[in-house]
Amino acid sequence: MSTQEQYPLDVESIREDFPILGRKVGGDVTAPGEGPDHSTPLVYLDNAATSQTPTQVVDAIVDYYYGYNSNVHRGIHHLSQEASVAYEEAHDRVAEFVGASGGREEIVFTKNTTEAMNLVAYAWGLSELGPGDRVVLTEMEHHASLVTWQQIGKRTGAEVRYVRVDDEGRLDMDHARELIDESTRLVSAVHISNTLGTVNPVAELADVAHDAGAFIFVDGAQAVPTRPVDVEALDADFYAFSGHKMCGPTGIGVLYAKRHILEAMGPYLYGGEMIRKVTYEESTWEDLPWKFEAGTPPIAQGVGLRAAVDYLDEIGMENVRKHEELLAEYAYDRLAEYDDVEIYGPPGDDRGGLVAFNLDGVHAHDLSSILNDHGVAIRAGDHCTQPLHDKLGVAASTRASFYIYNEREEIDALIDAVDDARALFG
């Protein structure tokens, strides 16, 4: 099979949309033209933390600030009308992208996935959970889910339990069925683990949750940027993701929720924008989704997120998925050639676009520093999954994560840098 057949994306063309990828990094920190240049080309493999942003998205944000910068829903002048339409249409476009047929009423803009999780925890969890209720998470949850529901459990008296992860890094679905019983009110599961790369069977989990009369919240921070996602096909009650991991700007996230659930929930934040009528004694709330978007919302970020969605749609999310999975499989296979490398999670042909690993005798932070000297940007640490790392028996891991502009040669550069670390540490 040819490389072109294997890898469906024209990476060379895509990279032209990301000027930052032409940078050199490392070497001596001197003023331009002073001293020798020992820097190396940037190899950016930290996409699970945040992706880079294409020119098309930056241009859309600049157009907003230069052309129609104004607050939304608060003025009848021309700029406010333009900004309001653009902001509302951004909700519609995001709804279309994730298969939410209810449109903008089911799409709430937050500042990130974590805030979306907290919105549901405080607006729904504090009022609906109590002693005798159960919230079921997984052992591979990001702190955004684990810490949030842990603390809500302490406040409400609800029990928090965790579905086991097996030795291959997959969910133990038999254990899930044991835990999710008639006392369960909510199941919260990550769609793709940001540490293990595991693609969880969230549609199956949704069926189990609904059979028990519970809601399911899906953390899609690693899924929406990397593969086609249809929230209705998954039958998710809540689904959250972040703009900055999918070619969009920082400062914006998305909470999808079924309309009837949002209508029954009270607001999370109070103030301007989310009210319909206010007296000294009472207040009533604005229609969906605005009752959950108090204050001046992330207007420029919403415009940028819409541009990111358009950009990814033009590439094709199925192409993105295939490209990422092929890169992850290649990286897994290259790393698996070494006896002194431990890889976490399922095999390389059955994971999302990331690989977390450790090199025997080398702390993840030291390895990351050496990789940085080679221009290779990766993540080292617990990746906001401390309990999972405790279960794995390691304090930290090194994570390489891939996106639409990465290519096999960059994985080869990663392997070469790991070889140098091995030689350095003996």
| Cα 405 to Cα 13: distance, rounded to the nearest angstrom | 9
Q: 230 vs 58, 211, 275, CA distance in Å?
A: 27, 21, 31
Q: Average pLDDT, whole number, for the chain?
A: 95
pLDDT by residue (tens digit) across 52-99?
Answer: 999 999 999 999 999 999 999 988 899 999 999 999 999 999 999 999
User: Is 3-53+316-425 a CATH 3.20.20.70 domain?
Assistant: no
What would the pLDDT profile of 64-77 be if each residue is shown by its tens digit? Answer: 999 999 999 988 89
Q: How far apart are CA 328 and CA 357, in angstroms?
A: 12
Give me the amino acid identity at 266.
G
pTM: 0.95
Q: What is the average pLDDT across 378-384?
A: 97
Burial class of 197 by CB neighbour count within 10 A (0 to 12, 13 to 18, 19+): buried
Widest Cα–Cα separation across the chain: 72
The set of catalytic residues is: 384
342 phi, psi to nearest 5 deg: -105, 125
Distance from chain centroid for Cα 120: 17
Beta bridge partners of 75: none
Encoded tokens for 107: 């799409």
Where exactly are the structural domains of the chain? Answer: 3-53+316-425, 56-314
Report the CATH number of the 56-314 domain. Answer: 3.40.640.10
> How far lies 184's CA from each of 162, 171, 337, in Å?
12, 18, 44
The per-residue pLDDT for range 259-274, each reduced to its tens digit, is 999 999 999 999 999 9
Tell me the C-alpha distance between 126 and 236, whole Å: 20
Closest by Cα among 355, 349, 345 to 410: 355
Provide the token pair at 13.
């063309």
Residues 6+ apart with CB under 8 A from 19: 55
